Structure 1
């Protein structure tokens, strides 16, 4: 809190009432502050006194709870006036007692069902009430509330005004790690948890200099707008994750209204346009546009393809928010026009516009080209003459290898489970099926390569590239640049996934690549080892300490890759981390004795290559890397042999 308040750029983000509330908090007893912080970290709901137990603070917490109620940081039971909420707060035993009193059927034994049945009873007409007797003036609900409250020995909930203030303070302390979720009480708790982990030494962030030249928020109202937008995002994600698409659509309609409101406010528009694009991502308007982008799927699920097309055109009509999504937007626009609205000519125009858009990169660019090519090659459309307008650099034919593997019938989980090669050998040697070992398709293929010239390897996909980049470019990643770091809890510069990352460090990046390409294998190994020993365990985006295993493992990998391949792979990543961080093949394989190096993309039954995977494989082949696609077929035959 003191860090945020001492930052001059935050001065205008707090009202006089906010400051008075902070002073009131500072005047609380130390024990009351500790209790408040513990409750702040819990789910936002009414909490019975019996479930508030922190003996490390004090055995008797009642005085401190009373202090927090008296100073309006907590609400007491007098503010709990909703019967359903009271019933839900009660213990299962107390609800059971009430259920007996109100003659709930004895076969209804679960607390949730008993609460529902009790609430149903309050909604039924009560004959006694109709004749002015029985439950009295308040009716059955009133009498049930009186009985239920007798079971409470105190119940507490965070007051909204101070809680909202502290959520905003937490958000400002680490805006890059912010998410809001009223249902789970996740409003600032993520940052609180990070602080705890850092203080305990379980999370260590890199050392860097914070150099703020732009304030992200213009005013207190701007911060509140951002937090409200994040809450909308949380509501939307909850609905989509649980498959409640009508609810998601309702949130989407609210988002559309919010977009109109924000875009109509010229002060907000001017402020946002003056921010660098990597800071603009933390504005309320950017969050709203991100939600509009996610709303495309909602409309498509409702078969409202016309609405989806209109939305996509609206998103593509501006170039200030979520520009890294433009490739996705063009691709979806072309698809909807072609496949759903049966307007191939308009789809082709969308393809051509997308290919001319400088924000469209890598996989989306290839996807657009392929759709345009397919449209032009349809004989009935007579658009073959326009094929030359669609261009993509030619791609190499990808080497392929085929394996057969026995699937364990009845296996569950993500994808089929294959019997390992060891299980085959036991069966073929006459040992019977016995204890069988099963694995995923990638491990099955790695097992094959392990016995065919590549004893070392890892199933790490893009983690290999991002980890090697972190080890060799650590100093550049965390070098001082204006607005690259706004919080002490950052594992990456804010501009990493934008064009600004390379543009603002071009001299340093190009020079390091030149140096690395001229190093010997031994010198590259020494650099990797020194970086590992210096930074091991420190949080860094893309750096997977566990998957990379050890400095020795990295040294083996670097030796087999060699300077040319290593620098070639890292160059592609450095120029566009956002667009190349995914799609790298599944398996990275090497032989420390022979120096052999191989990359393999694994495809199980029914799986196919994505555009980003195709482009990574094509690029690797261009570097001279032994790269291939391994297709695995699930069979039930006893003798299983690879074929090529």
Structure 2
């Protein structure tokens, strides 16, 4: 059980300072003069001013052309002794702007409806909705400009400055602009313990200023995404042209750019701008770009191009899902066009299936099925061992893999780790994860035998227990389960399952069977449970077909409810 930890009132300041200090210590040569000046100005502030600035920087505020807006009179932080003095020092240091000159419509969201009604030069009905109140005030201001002065007189308005510089610091620290200082809070509360890995200069993800700028430009484009998608084809194409080119050896940036291009191209498809969509898909190196191009070609009546693309996929699929698409779509297209030469219908695997009838109960159907399978054990009183059945779903094989390859997961691959608080390398759920470490993974799998597996798993289980690992859910790996699994499952079966997991972790880490049964007579069996009306999902079907190809024992257990 995690012991409760009380955070200091200004814990956020310690976290902020640790972040910016970390970035300056490692990336000072890549930071701009303005970014370093921002850091120097902040360091020179008194504690209360630092606290206030980080508080405001961490809050959303009201967006404006001069920065996020706040009302001084609405701020209340117990750990800041003199808010007005703290704000004054920030204004003097250029990190806040007092009462910025703005258009009236930018000020209005700072005030409540009641306050706006009170400031109106002519009485307005209380029943008016807020948008109508704001519209009335804008009309008044256009006829007799005075309201803006009344608003600024009502309270001191503050606009946060230099927030864009902090974006660069966040990018360098987190590797993205989606995370925040919450990761520190989780660490401070003891909710996460992180593995220690080297963060030396050679392995830092950013090696040039141009690289940082291209990532920042990508995020600028990402902010424009929703607007472009709603605006239409021309705006989508214009946004696509603004995307950075990418940096050699920066797989993270190329993945992000591909993901954004795929989103833009998909919307072009929906808008029937098929040629523009196809051209954008051609700029993408990752799935499902070739799939979408094949669909577009067939939709436009170009059967030859569609089938050629399917054959290209089958010759070198990026992942299993892409291969399955090419087999199915290619065959259906060839059949419809009466060009079946060289095309075969995709094989469909029917797993062994059993149906049982159980009394309805509030427990999960998987747990009821596990209890049923255990009750089918031999007579324990006669001295025979009982069946053991565990609900494992996606936790057992992922967890054992995470323990077996722990050192490889956290090895210092260039660009994998941005900061000390990562549960996984940054490329963990991407197609680049396995190729980046192919040689060491292949060596580890080649040396896998029952003794080697058990030794590594138990050593890491004892030494690393509780440390965050992207594959290991500690609470789902009780020692009795691990002991039986390592003793009963043959090394070859572990190897085959690990190979498939590592080949495409993002897609294959899910869909594994619900239960593992350890019969009294020995061995094991994987059991997928389906309740009334439930059907096998595609990822589950693919796992079951894989088990069949490699003689891994499995079956599907359908549960029906007893009728009263």
Q: TM-score, normalised by structure 2?
A: 0.81
Match of 2:79 in 1: 56
Match of 1:367 in 2: 325
Match of 2:551 among 618, 621, 624: 624
Deviation at 1:471, TM superposition (A): 1.4
Deviation at 1:198, TM superposition (A): 2.6
| Alpha-carbon distance in structure 2 between the residues aligned to 1:231 and 1:502 | 30
For the aligned residues, what is the CA RMSD?
3.5
Tell me if 1:253 matches 2:237: yes
- Contact 1:210–1:483 (CA<8 Å) still a contact in 2? no
- Contact 1:491–1:541 (CA<8 Å) still a contact in 2? yes
Q: Cα gap change, 1:74/1:93 in structure 2, threshold over 3 Å: closer, same or farther?
A: same
Match of 1:226 in 2: 215
**CA distances 1:133-189 after superposition (whole Å, capped 9, x unpaired):** xx8xx624x23333333432x232311xx22112211211221xx125xxxxxxxxx
Deviation at 1:482, TM superposition (A): 4.5
| Alpha-carbon distance in structure 1 between the residues aligned to 2:234 and 2:359 | 52
Match of 1:550 among 467, 478, 481: 478
3-state SS, counterpart of residue 209 of structure 1: coil
**CA distances 1:195-246 after superposition (whole Å, capped 9, x unpaired):** 333344332221112344376556545423322312432443x66xxxx951
Match of 1:293 in 2: 262
Match of 1:385 among 341, 346, 367: 341
- Contact 2:251–2:432 (CA<8 Å) still a contact in 1? no
- Contact 2:170–2:177 (CA<8 Å) still a contact in 1? no
3-state SS, counterpart of residue 43 of structure 1: coil
- Contact 1:470–1:542 (CA<8 Å) still a contact in 2? yes
Match of 1:539 in 2: 468
Tell me if 1:139 matches 2:143: yes
Tell me if 1:346 matches 2:305: yes
| Alpha-carbon distance in structure 2 between the residues aligned to 1:32 and 1:474 | 43
Match of 2:125 in 1: 105
Alignment of 1:109-258 (within 5 A): 113-114=129-130, 116-122=131-137, 124=139, 139-140=143-144, 142-152=145-155, 154-159=156-161, 162-175=162-175, 178-180=176-178, 190-213=179-202, 216-217=205-206, 219-220=208-209, 222-236=211-225, 245-247=229-231, 252-258=236-242
**CA distances 1:435-494 after superposition (whole Å, capped 9, x unpaired):** xx4x7xxx3354234313476333643x44322211121122223445443432332334
| Alpha-carbon distance in structure 2 between the residues aligned to 1:144 and 1:214 | 56
| Alpha-carbon distance in structure 2 between the residues aligned to 1:515 and 1:346 | 44
- Contact 1:355–1:368 (CA<8 Å) still a contact in 2? yes
Match of 2:292 in 1: 332
**Structure 1: which 5+ runs fail to align?**
127-134, 181-189, 264-268, 317-322, 405-419, 424-436
- Contact 1:80–1:86 (CA<8 Å) still a contact in 2? no
| Alpha-carbon distance in structure 2 between the residues aligned to 1:87 and 1:498 | 44
3-state SS, counterpart of residue 537 of structure 1: coil
Alignment of 1:2-41 (within 5 A): 2-7=21-26, 10-41=27-58
Q: Cα gap change, 1:509/1:202 in structure 2, threshold over 3 Å: closer, same or farther?
A: same
- Contact 1:532–1:551 (CA<8 Å) still a contact in 2? no
Q: Cα gap change, 1:17/1:123 in structure 2, threshold over 3 Å: closer, same or farther?
A: closer
| Alpha-carbon distance in structure 2 between the residues aligned to 1:214 and 1:14 | 18
3-state SS, counterpart of residue 452 of structure 1: helix
Match of 1:89 in 2: 110
- Contact 2:317–2:323 (CA<8 Å) still a contact in 1? no
Deviation at 1:64, TM superposition (A): 0.6
Match of 1:581 in 2: 509
Match of 1:434 in 2: none
Q: TM-score, normalised by structure 1?
A: 0.72
Deviation at 1:622, TM superposition (A): 2.8
Q: Cα gap change, 1:457/1:288 in structure 2, threshold over 3 Å: closer, same or farther?
A: same
Match of 1:517 in 2: 449
Deviation at 1:258, TM superposition (A): 0.9
Tell me if 1:311 matches 2:267: no
Deviation at 1:65, TM superposition (A): 0.9
Q: Cα gap change, 1:578/1:28 in structure 2, threshold over 3 Å: closer, same or farther?
A: same
| Alpha-carbon distance in structure 2 between the residues aligned to 1:364 and 1:421 | 42
| Alpha-carbon distance in structure 1 between the residues aligned to 2:439 and 2:135 | 71
| Alpha-carbon distance in structure 2 between the residues aligned to 1:342 and 1:627 | 43
Match of 2:352 in 1: 399
Q: Cα gap change, 1:592/1:211 in structure 2, threshold over 3 Å: closer, same or farther?
A: farther
| Alpha-carbon distance in structure 1 between the residues aligned to 2:255 and 2:408 | 28
3-state SS, counterpart of residue 315 of structure 1: coil
Match of 1:598 among 519, 526, 529: 526
Tell me if 1:565 matches 2:493: yes
Q: Cα gap change, 1:400/1:502 in structure 2, threshold over 3 Å: closer, same or farther?
A: same
